[in-house]
């Protein structure tokens, strides 16, 4: 998602790679600490502050119940002690900035109430379940009003839909014929959300997953009979 919104730097990929590493570790510790998926707002706060991350680790320690959870907590502790703790504070802040560019906007009160409510209400089943049920998902986040937030939310919706569609291929027990119903992704002004090479890779595989591809027909002016 970061690459979709911010692009990539072939000259110096370090910052994006480190931002993704930080995001991965923060998501892991928030899941353990809260027992649910993190919001963009909590992701921003935990990534910004090293002290906040440590606090979430302590919260996770009180929630761990299973051997698998304990193993994951030990992995997070190892990353925290062997890598994050040894980084200069300014370098940690610079790495966090690469992530916070797409997360900090969701810590605004108005935006947080809509996209990052606390507690998190399970009012979206996820594209896997909705595709299975044949449901229609409509996303209306006007770019004229919400600017970058609209781009980020639209991009996340796109990427999650793509994953759900391709996951059907992995789950198909008897090949392509067992994938399931056909699906559509319709987007107005899709050029504002499309990226390469990511979207190209999806479109090269999506037909097998019964995702319908369509292009806008060229409009021609009808000639009047003479």
Give residue-wise pLDDT tens across range 28-80.
999 999 988 899 999 999 999 999 999 999 999 999 989 999 999 999 999 99
pLDDT at 114: 85
pLDDT of 221 above 60: no
Question: How far, in Å, are 138, 169, 205, 215, 219 from residue 185 at the CA level?
Answer: 10, 17, 14, 11, 21
Task: Tell me whether residue 87 is in a domain.
Answer: yes
Question: In whole angstroms, what is the distance from residue 74 CA to residue 79 CA?
Answer: 9
The percentage of the chain sitting over the pLDDT mark of 90, rounded to a whole number, equals 46
Count of domains observed in the chain: 2
Total count of residues recorded for the chain: 226
Encoded tokens for 167: 């996951």
Both 110 and 14 in a single domain? yes
Both 106 and 134 in a single domain? no
Rounded to two decimals, what is the model's pTM?
0.80
Both 104 and 48 in a single domain? yes
Q: How many CB atoms lie within 10 A of CB 67?
A: 8
Q: Is 45 left (phi over 0), alpha (psi -120 to 50) or beta?
A: alpha
Both 55 and 135 in a single domain? no
Both 175 and 109 in a single domain? no
pLDDT at 224: 40
| Domain around 138 | 127-205
Both 17 and 103 in a single domain? yes
Task: Tell me whether residue 211 is in a domain.
Answer: no
Task: Tell me whether residue 221 is in a domain.
Answer: no
């Amino acid at each position: 998602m970061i690459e979709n919104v911010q692009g990539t730097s072939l000259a110096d990929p370090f910052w994006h790679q480190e931002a993704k590493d930080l995001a991965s570790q923060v998501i892991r510790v928030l899941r353990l600490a809260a027992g649910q998926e993190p919001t963009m707002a909590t992701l921003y706060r935990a990534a910004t502050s090293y002290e906040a991350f440590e606090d979430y680790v302590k919260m996770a320690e009180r929630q761990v119940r299973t051997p698998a959870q304990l193993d994951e907590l030990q992995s997070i502790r190892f990353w925290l002690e062997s890598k994050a703790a040894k980084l200069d504070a300014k370098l940690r802040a610079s790495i966090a900035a690469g992530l916070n560019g797409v997360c900090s906007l969701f810590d605004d009160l108005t935006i947080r109430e809509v996209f990052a409510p606390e507690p998190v209400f399970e009012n979206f089943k996820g594209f896997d379940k909705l595709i299975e049920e044949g449901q229609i998902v409509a996303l209306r986040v006007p770019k004229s009003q919400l600017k970058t937030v609209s781009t980020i939310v639209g991009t996340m919706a796109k990427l999650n839909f793509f994953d759900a569609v391709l996951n059907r291929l992995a789950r198909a027990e008897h090949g392509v014929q067992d994938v399931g119903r056909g699906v559509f992704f319709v987007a107005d002004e899709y050029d504002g959300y499309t990226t390469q090479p990511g979207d190209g890779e999806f479109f090269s595989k999506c037909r097998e997953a019964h995702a319908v591809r369509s292009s806008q027909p060229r409009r021609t002016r009808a000639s009047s009979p003479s």
